[in-house]
Structure 1
Amino acid sequence: MDTLETILGHTFRDPALLQLALTHGSVGYENQRPQADNQRLEFLGDAVLQLALSHLLYSRSPKADEGVLTKARAQLVSTKALARLARQIGLGTHLILGRGEEANGGRDRDSTLADALEAVAGAIYLDAGNAAAHQFATRLFTPDLDALEQGPLERNPKGELQELIQASNATPPVYSIVAADGPDHAKSFCAAVSWLGHELGRGNGRSKKEAETEAAQAALESITLKKLLRKTCEDSVSNPEKPAPEANN
């Protein structure tokens, strides 16, 4: 753990917190017995990173309005962005996985890496408080924050969502236009995206494409998507020969 602590810039007073942050749910699932994992820390770390980045964006972009700040934060904490940062610090090599998850490429799966990075942020917060967590987020996200000042980070929420779902070998997401208001020359569309019969998010836009893009962004931030991905992953570990589930009609 010493090497990882050096990379993180934080030495844990309670090393068990870091070990917990690195422990994937597949460990207990495979052993069929209670096993503490990083899911609760992931929940906490998501809020920790959101707060730290809100503060950083607010301070660095005094002229940006709420909508711009919200979109910038969403880009920074998207699953793909967090997974990329996790790879940069080599977090995958330190994960504690079940054998099936390891064999199925979990060590380099975007959702697993992103969840673990959030869990690490939560662990740092519990270990040393908000100042230490804020310092960690500052070190981690400064390059991306600098890039944002040069222009918006490249956004492709639909592509990110597609990649996440394809990694689980399941059926693709389905987009639908659920509402269209206004005159022909100034229509406003509302799109919804669903997967396996569950609605993941909705978005609005002046075109169908824009509405679907916003819906995909909402899906990437949804708890429902995380739960479905985790369940699909667990099912693939316990039933490797079982075909991917089909979406509900």
Structure 2
Amino acid sequence: MENRSLLSGTPLDGIDYGVYTASLMRRAAGAGLLDERALAAMQEGLLGLLRSQIEEITRGESSSVPAETADQLMDDIGYCIDVALKHAPTPQESLALLREHSMDALYRMGTGLLDREERACEGLLSRVRATRTPTVNEGYRILLDVTFPQYLRDWKVRRHPGDFVVLTEYPLAREVSASGIFGVRERLESLALENRFCGRFAPVLDGLLRGWARQNRTSPAEAYVNLFTITLQNLLLARLLGREDAALGAGERAGLEERLRPL
């Protein structure tokens, strides 16, 4: 077994996290930490995974599939292995995993981590729907009732887990760049916190939304705005006026914003 302490000072900087495994292999090979035999074994392991997945989707009736299908399968295999290796705290520990485990074992580690994320998403989705903010805003409703459930349904029926772009009809207060099932979880976590906050100000939230929509010449249902953000902004402005609630009239808000603008 490789002594991990020998890797603690290896030059593994500059790794491309978008193609983590391939980049790690290249950097390690360039630093003399992976020889040709090890690289060949890893490539053969990847091809073995591809062959087994082709047999799975063709039910053993064929050893070939269209090129685009093979490319997609290889992308998904690489994604799962990337997940396993990125889970290690440092590139040095990722390299130790790569040296000590077969590609099949790394693939199964990655799918296990992804399955764990999916289960967490199921629980978070139940929470955000149970604590949903009462609102006429359609983007918010679609996000909870259509978009997130559809992402999870698509994930469940996908034969081989892979990455995907997460697009939503409703903006969160905090920008989330993560993709795939990890991106779904981060967005659900953010929404769960926003719901907890907005729940304290539910009686005035529709009024705040109507005021924002009127100011931006749209309807409350079609407004592309984060409910937590407008609630927090109004609460802070109200506090500056010595008010205890978040309800702030449009005139009061405009006047206070004008006074604060020079600051």
TM-score w.r.t. the length of structure 2 is 0.32
More strand by share: 1
More helix by share: 2
Larger relative contact order (Cα-Cα within 8 Å, sequence gap ≥ 6): 1
TM-score w.r.t. the length of structure 1 is 0.34
Pair member with larger Rg? 2
